[in-house]
Homo-oligomer: A and B are copies of this chain.
Amino acid sequence: MKPPLRIALAGLGTVGGGVVQALANPELSERAGRKLEIAAVSARDRSRDRGFDISKFAWSDDATALLKSEADVIVELIGGEDGIALDVVEGALKAGKHVVTGNKALLAKHGARLAALAEEKGVALKWEAAVAGGIPIVKALRESLIAYGVDSVHGILNGTCNYILTQMEATGRSFHDVLKEAQALGYAEADPELDVGGGDTAHKLVLLASLAFGTVPNQTHISVEGIKEITPEDIQFAREFGYRIKLLGIARRTAKGIDQRVRPAMVKTGTPLAHVDTVFNAVLAKAGAAGRYFFEGRGAGREPTTQSVVSDLVDIARGNLGAGFGWPAASLKPLQPSDPGAAMSAYYLRFEVLDVPGVLAEIARHLSESQVSIESMIQRGRSPGEPVSIVMITHETSQASVERALKVIAGSDKVRARPCMIPMEAA
């Protein structure tokens, strides 16, 4: 049997604690063909009750002290795109130690450079836990979907948003009501902006795009819109049309570059992404001639995330190191962005208008002038002089055309509030 793999954990929160407990199972060492041994741990508070005994591990309250330990691998579970997390990851790689991390923000910002450093030092940079919790999508894109390339990835990558949208649909309640409840239940952070604003999904999408297309992770060329503007009315209309609203991260090759976007989308009932509910995550990948792949699982939480960290550790123990982004670092290409306005889609449009004569004609005219043609329309309720909703589904058109029309329509004195536009996803 090979010598033990010595592991140092930087961060002993939910996932760090999960890893300590999971590694106590001797089956993992049996599968790995060598003992998986925790050599040292680091966290801010040594005295906190974590439900397990940490006295047997070498301890430091300074994570960078782990760099001087005898560990073969550092598991970084601190978080943050810079600061101490970066010091630990970069320092570990420089010291010739393998790194396992769940830190999507750090990887989205520094991933390519860190992967090059790992490669130079002959060590692994593994990060299955950074995207889609327990789903082994990083492994799938790195090691499995490789013969025919990947044309697109569509992901439901944020459990908080998916929980909120699922609850809004089930109860008919508003975004703010459901968010408050999610916060009380611990499904949403006290400061929810990173989740509901789409930023967390964006970090994850940028990493998936890099794996899928062999490009340097790129956070510049991505359009991001969260779920804060979605109303129960939109969800209800979606259902009437046979769709459900999901926050998607989408990365796809187009003839003119790669399109990266995070936004709410209408997903057709009966297609795989439409049925991903509550805190589940999912990724749909189109892999050229090999067709569509779909992966679903828990997107967060102690055990799913721990499982991803543990599988990375066992990979390292077995000698399955691989390149951080699936390709030699020197082969990663800069991402050539497509023009976001050129993206083609059908759209759901909702206008809040005053119920006065001529309003529908005015909207239709502006749409027509921007070459946006209407497939179907619903005007619900009549209350003369009061605001009512007009909902339309367009034929396929460019995003720029719709945006141009909506800008003009928003200026009308008959239109209240900003019109809502949600693409219909054919995935």
- Which residues from chain A sit less than 8 Å from chain B, CB to CB? 22, 25, 27-28, 30-31, 33, 128, 134-136, 139-140, 143-149, 270-272, 275, 280, 282, 287-298, 301-304, 306-308, 310-311, 314-315, 318-323, 326-328, 331
Contact = CB atoms under 8 A, between A and B. Distances in A.
30 contacts: A22-B148, A28-B146, A31-B326, A128-B144, A134-B293, A136-B145, A139-B140, A140-B140, A143-B314, A146-B314, A147-B303, A147-B310, A147-B311, A271-B275, A289-B302, A290-B298, A290-B303, A290-B304, A291-B297, A291-B303, A292-B296, A292-B297, A292-B298, A293-B295, A294-B296, A294-B297, A295-B295, A295-B296, A318-B322, A320-B322
B30 A143 contact: no
Given A292-B297, A298-B292, A28 B147 contact: yes
Contacts of A303: 147-148, 288-291
Contact of A147 (B146, B271, B307): B307
Looking at chain A's contact residues, the main secondary structure is: mixed
Given A134-B291, A291-B304, A319-B320, A31 B146 contact: yes
Contacts of A307: 144-148, 287, 290
* Copies held by the complex: 2
Contacts of A270: 275
B296 A293 contact: yes
A311 B136 contact: no
A271 B315 CA distance: 32
Contacts of A302: 289
Nearest to A145: B307
